[in-house]
Structure 1
Amino acid sequence: MKKSLLLWAGLLGLSPTLHAQTGSRQAAGQAVSADTPYATDFAEAYRRYPAIPRGVLEAVAYTQTHIRHLGPTEQASCTGMPLAAGVMGLIADGKGYFRENLGLVARLADVNADLIQTSPRAHILAYAAAYARLATEQKLTAADPARHLPVLLALSELPLAKDAVSTFTLDSHLYSVLTFLNKAENQQRYGFPDYHLDLQRIFGANYQVLSSGTAQVSERQVRGEGQTFDPNSSTYARVASSDYGPAITDLTTCNYSSRGGVAVTHYAIHTVQGTYASCISWFKNCSAQVSAHYVVRSSDGQVTQMVSEANKAWHIGSENPYTIGTEHEGYVDDASWYTTAMYNSSAALARDICASGYGISGLRTFYGAATTGTFSTGACVKIKGHQHFPNQTHTDPGVNWNWEKFYTLINNAPTVTTLTAATGTVYDAGGASANYPDDVRQCQLIAPTGATSVSLTFSSFDVESGYDHLLVYDGANNQAPLIGKYSGTASPGTLTASSGKMFLELRSDCATTRPGFAATWSSAGGGSASCPTDSYEANETLATGKAIGVNVNNTAYVCPAADVDWYRFSSSTTNNNIKVTLTTLPADYDLELYDAGGTLLYSSTSASTTAETIVYNGAPAATYYVKVYGYNGATSSSAYTLRVSTQSVAWSSSAAIASRLNASTPEQPVVTITNPVQAGTKAWLTVTGYDGPADIVLRDSRGLPVGASTHAEIVSEQPLGYLLPANLSPSVYIVTLQLRTHVEYVKLLVQ
């Protein structure tokens, strides 16, 4: 696809607040990345207090607040748990349970506590001063963060005790901090070194429980991955000297009661307004008078069970008797806490509850727009937010929770009827003459053989207004760009899918049916050549990815349209610098690199048939997955070439540029951006081979700018974070960068 056409394919608006790179320097000459609002303050703290290992302050801040200043207007937690304050997430009033570490920091740093709560800079510097004082007293140096665990525990708000629950929460806090330090993308983004922390050695056998989502914990013991959690060998102990199978069972001894014979009929989604470890600890506090059945961790989706489903947890006031409730780590005003891992894990928990005999159907999951307020959906919707139940004042999970995504993950295996004729007629689940029934999820894929476009014209349309909906997508499934969501009696008219495939999804609630719809489709572009034999098929998913060797060429096909190819390979500790190239492209194909857990690491999405390249220097020895797919359903019966190359020395930027541009113009900058992303989260933009100013303009599908132009200072190969608006519709957009001499374009897929 030509860049001039790509420009009008649909563009994404960015937040008007853009944090550019700074000129501050670290001791080793590394640039301090300013893609967080407080990079300058963190840099100043490290200069003042050299005993603090670089990266530790950001690691604590990310664990506690995702590096966001929590002010006095922050929404209170529906659990009654004390709210943290500032960038480092300190507690001023522990309500007789949490340690009041804000006061401790103020005393150690000799700074007024009120100033710490109101000024982000004073907050960061005070925490750093307190940290440095404790580190100096213990004769610790910045070279080995693993020896700093006593300082991290001393400055935590979590209660100090040697029982199983307290030691587990303390270890969970430390695990989050050290995991942050171990991630290569954080080392690059925040400019700190790789300390090569051996988490298995640090946490011992307890590491299996801390890192696993399939552990079991009772009042007397904790088991995970075949290991027993030992409170006596927990980090704090050394320093101081179930209903849902995958969950850690950490049942509270209080803060619950009998359901009194009331049946479970609903499931409530909450946001903690705090951290995972703090929430677990708070629910163990018998004075809190609050609890939930489950808590989910943001970073990896680990689930801890606090109350048996047979008992009534105290999480939603008058609606407690008939509900199961789950708290999600994070804050309602910060979408970054709602990670893919959290959504996937929480949806798996919801599917288990649906299958547990309560009569809760996944089809009764709320999928409307996320909002900031409270409103009751009525009893028909069974899986919904705290804010959707009657008699509530709390508004979690709030405007940043993606209900449509959650609905799709819970109902992750729909039956799909595929229609391959060039023309035909489709009806709702009631057929040509009857009303559609209640509790329907009808999925139909119109995919005429070889079609380049599909048009659908409605002859009748009547679905229950505001409660039942028809969703239409331009592509092979409900992850494709949404054409529209229709309800009521107004006809959608004629809809066109430019991908050559159109996906229809009808959803109905528990009451009131209507005549539904009838529509006739036609297609264009049929009669394309059949697909050649591909020796790697079937490899449409990560789980079915085919093994390939390194430093060899592999040829295959993206065919038919919307075909996706997955491959897997392994790197070694010696040859730990990876370059993945996609060449001889017959169409606009894109490239992505994932870790074994399914997390997207890098993507390459150049326009048209430009070669795609991903470079990952210093990659840990592990199994990785490569995904090759056609942009917007692009396909061809001609082969592409995929090559994974590894070597012991880092791949140079010039080599990457030359490869990305097919060695034609190695001086031209290369622009990449993380794909796919979610509305309301950050997209990370990287420009290789260019340093200097850039004006960023975003355009909608008509080519019109969305928002004002944004100015940034680009540093080559330094990721620049953009916070995306929360109200974007799923689609493909283009980010345009006006550099000194020309404009660069990069595609962005919002899901």
Structure 2
Amino acid sequence: MPSGPPIRRLRTALLGLALATGLALTGQPAGAASTSPSTAPAGTALNEAFARAASAYGVPRDLLVAVAYAETRLDDHHGLPSQDNGFGMMHLVGNPSRHTLEQAARLTTATAAELKHDPAANIRGGAAVLRAMADESGLRAAGRHRLDAWYPVAARYGAPGSDTAGRLYADAVYDVLRRGVRAHVRGGEEVGVAPHRVTPQRGKYAEAAPEGLTGAADYPTALWSPAYAGNYAAGRTSAVTTVVVHVTQGSYAGTINWFKDPAAQVSAHYVVRSSDGQVTQTVRERDTAWHARSANASSVGIEHEGYISTPSWFTDSMYRSSAALTRYLTDKYGIPRDRTHIVGHSEVPGNDHTDPGPYWDWSYYMSLVRGDGGGTTTPFPTWGTDVSIRQQATTTSTRVATLPGPTTVRVRCQVHGQLVTYDGHSNDAWSYLPDHGGYISNIFIDVPDAWLPGVPTC
């Protein structure tokens, strides 16, 4: 990340062995939306906050959740800012170019401190800003219940400075709506959105198709979306000898948009998306991006979407795509494929940043960069505290290790073992972790699927 302080995780301790994976979700009619929770249990703090904000401002509840998930994975980061000074689950921004934080304060009468630190106030503030933008765009009461009509509003909310970044942002929000989501948040509360069959009305953003940006970048498969010229230096004063790994502390589209903002005074050469590994180039390799202070002149900077405190951002698609990009760079510039020349932002002299943070799996990443067998395992995020790793796929077998808190684990394979039931939900899937020599219940693997996609049976 070019800027922004280290961020802590929102999740709190989970007691005991339980939170089962959700049951299958069913689709809803195209474009239809409700301001009440679609899959979430009633009587819980965040679900109530989303429902109340939706009702108060006439914004579809599921759109609010999708925006929050696309922005932050429903993590408020305890009121600490993103790289572009955005706050809370809804990423209300207060910087020289964007003022949704201040706008939310005016619209809701909440203070800036409340909007930063109180999740319910932040959700209400995001809903108020979305409604104000909807009113400005001409979206009237007759259309506000339709999810498909909110696409231009979502694009403006997330990336107001660029149509291409706005398209990337709104597409991410609508991908959440189409796929559905189930996420565990503070205290184990589950917030969910059922899949929607929705075809968004893109309006002017239909002409800003991301695929139209291919072919112009240095890296053949990357999109090209240039940063503001004042956020990097033309040319270089040194040969390229290093690749620097960053984490954005923000969303993919939001980061690309931030690099276009004259107020940013930061940039990186590439940004990699969490969901599918899509790569966008924002600064030419021949130019000096401002991403790592003392290493700027001699390095290529790669930003990875997400937050250092939330391992669920670090998907296998992201690792593999980034590793392929790094292999390309090391071949092109003759850079050794080792940890002396492929480094984290925190390892560059003269920097005070902590990315890519403790959950970045350097061992797996470097094995992919070197091409020496990293594909035998797949990384997945976990959640919960004091999670037991068992010798066999049962809760009664010997405990061989413990995960003290959320982390990333490497999964080799999975089996059907002891059925674990909680609150009406059941799951019998367990994953084998070679680094720990035992099995973890898939309940604690922080993905929506009960049976992990792409992982073979043991």
TM class by shorter chain equals 0.7 to 0.9
Task: Give the aligned residue type for 2:328.
Answer: D
Asked if residue 246 in structure 1 is aligned to residue 248 in structure 2, the reply is no
Task: Give the aligned residue type for 2:74.
Answer: I
Aligned position for 1:83: 85
Select the structure of larger CA radius of gyration: 1
Contact kept, 8 Å, 1:254 with 1:284, in 2: the verdict is no
Q: Distance in 2 between matches of 1:173 and 1:723?
A: 34
**Post-superposition shift, 1:129?**
3.9
Aligned position for 2:366: 407
Task: Give the aligned residue type for 1:322.
Answer: S
**Post-superposition shift, 1:361?**
2.9
Q: Distance in 2 between matches of 1:727 and 1:91?
A: 29
Q: Of the candidates 64, 69, 81, which is equivalent to residue 71 of structure 2?
A: 64
Aligned position for 2:102: 103
Within-5 A mapping of 1:129-208: 129-132=128-131, 135=134, 138-140=139-141, 141-153=143-155, 155-156=157-158, 158-160=159-161, 166-184=162-180, 190-192=192-194, 194-197=196-199, 203-204=205-206, 206-207=208-209
Task: Judging by fraction of residues, say which structure has more helix.
Answer: 2
Asked if residue 352 in structure 1 is aligned to residue 328 in structure 2, the reply is yes
Asked if residue 296 in structure 1 is aligned to residue 296 in structure 2, the reply is no
Aligned position for 2:430: 747
Q: For the structure 1 residues 319 and 405, does the alpha-carbon distance in structure 2 shift closer, same or farther, using more than 3 Å as the test? A: same
Aligned position for 1:216: 215
Q: Distance in 2 between matches of 1:29 and 1:478?
A: 41
Listed as ranges, the gaps of 5+ residues in structure 1 are 1-13, 161-165, 218-241, 367-380, 415-476, 482-675, 684-695, 709-721
Aligned position for 1:120: 119
Q: What is the aligned length?
A: 392
Q: Of the candidates 265, 268, 284, which is equivalent to residue 244 of structure 2?
A: 268
Q: Distance in 2 between matches of 1:740 and 1:20?
A: 8
Aligned position for 1:41: 49
TM-score of the aligned structures, taking structure 1 as reference length: 0.46
Q: Of the candidates 57, 61, 74, which is equivalent to residue 54 of structure 1?
A: 61
**Post-superposition shift, 1:296?**
1.5
Partner SS for 1:269: strand
Q: Of the candidates 298, 313, 337, which is equivalent to residue 337 of structure 1?
A: 313
Within-5 A mapping of 1:671-682: 678=380, 680-681=381-382
Asked if residue 737 in structure 1 is aligned to residue 420 in structure 2, the reply is yes
Aligned position for 2:443: none
Q: Distance in 2 between matches of 1:171 and 1:744?
A: 37
**Post-superposition shift, 1:144?**
1.8
Q: For the structure 1 residues 37 and 305, does the alpha-carbon distance in structure 2 shift closer, same or farther, using more than 3 Å as the test? A: farther
Contact kept, 8 Å, 1:318 with 1:391, in 2: the verdict is yes
**Post-superposition shift, 1:397?**
0.5
Q: Of the candidates 291, 294, 298, which is equivalent to residue 318 of structure 1?
A: 294
Q: For the structure 1 residues 32 and 298, does the alpha-carbon distance in structure 2 shift closer, same or farther, using more than 3 Å as the test? A: same
Partner SS for 2:61: coil
Within-5 A mapping of 1:552-563: none
Q: Distance in 2 between matches of 1:206 and 1:153?
A: 11
Partner SS for 2:300: strand
Q: Distance in 2 between matches of 1:104 and 1:28?
A: 25
Task: Give the aligned residue type for 1:17.
Answer: L
Partner SS for 1:216: coil
Partner SS for 2:64: helix
TM-score of the aligned structures, taking structure 2 as reference length: 0.73
Partner SS for 1:384: strand
Aligned position for 1:388: 347
Listed as ranges, the gaps of 5+ residues in structure 2 are 1-10, 23-33, 184-189, 435-458
Contact kept, 8 Å, 1:33 with 1:39, in 2: the verdict is yes
Q: Distance in 1 between matches of 2:175 and 2:379?
A: 22
Q: Distance in 2 between matches of 1:255 and 1:410?
A: 29
Asked if residue 328 in structure 1 is aligned to residue 304 in structure 2, the reply is yes
Q: Distance in 2 between matches of 1:175 and 1:266?
A: 33
Contact kept, 8 Å, 1:42 with 1:124, in 2: the verdict is yes
Aligned position for 1:536: none
**Post-superposition shift, 1:73?**
4.3
Contact kept, 8 Å, 2:165 with 2:253, in 1: the verdict is yes
Contact kept, 8 Å, 1:15 with 1:725, in 2: the verdict is no
Q: Of the candidates 384, 392, 398, which is equivalent to residue 704 of structure 1?
A: 398
Q: For the structure 1 residues 730 and 154, does the alpha-carbon distance in structure 2 shift closer, same or farther, using more than 3 Å as the test? A: closer
Q: Distance in 2 between matches of 1:150 and 1:730?
A: 39
CA offsets, 1:125-156, max 9 Å, x none?
A: 23224434655673143442222234335544
**Post-superposition shift, 1:383?**
0.9
Q: Distance in 2 between matches of 1:69 and 1:200?
A: 29
Alignment RMSD: 4.0
Task: Give the aligned residue type for 1:748.
Answer: S
Q: For the structure 1 residues 115 and 707, does the alpha-carbon distance in structure 2 shift closer, same or farther, using more than 3 Å as the test? A: farther
Task: Judging by fraction of residues, say which structure has more strand.
Answer: 1
CA offsets, 1:371-412, max 9 Å, x none?
A: xxxxxxxxxx11121112222211111111111121122122
CA offsets, 1:65-104, max 9 Å, x none?
A: 1111133445xx6xxx422111101112x1x22x110111
